[in-house]
Amino acid sequence: MTATRWTMQVTGRVQGVYYRANTQKAGADLGLTGYALNLPDGGVEVVAEGDRKNLQALHDWCKKGPPAARVDRIVVTESQATGEFSDFSIRR
């Protein structure tokens, strides 16, 4: 099975609410690799690689986020996985 990469741009109230930490845990629990990164515009970028079923599960989680978050929109870009990640991390 070929791994896929999803880059998700998440907007809403997603900084200062433990969104990255919870996304990192959700991605790791799903066996995905990649990262979550706060963006200067107040959003979060989530880059994840793995199988489509688990990417969809992470996307479903990202739509809700942690309790204090409010997700307004997620834009997903799909590409071929590069295999550059060894785990799911938080980037600063």
Known catalytic residues are 20, 38
The span from the CA of 31 to the CA of 27, in Å, is: 6
The span from the CA of 69 to the CA of 85, in Å, is: 26
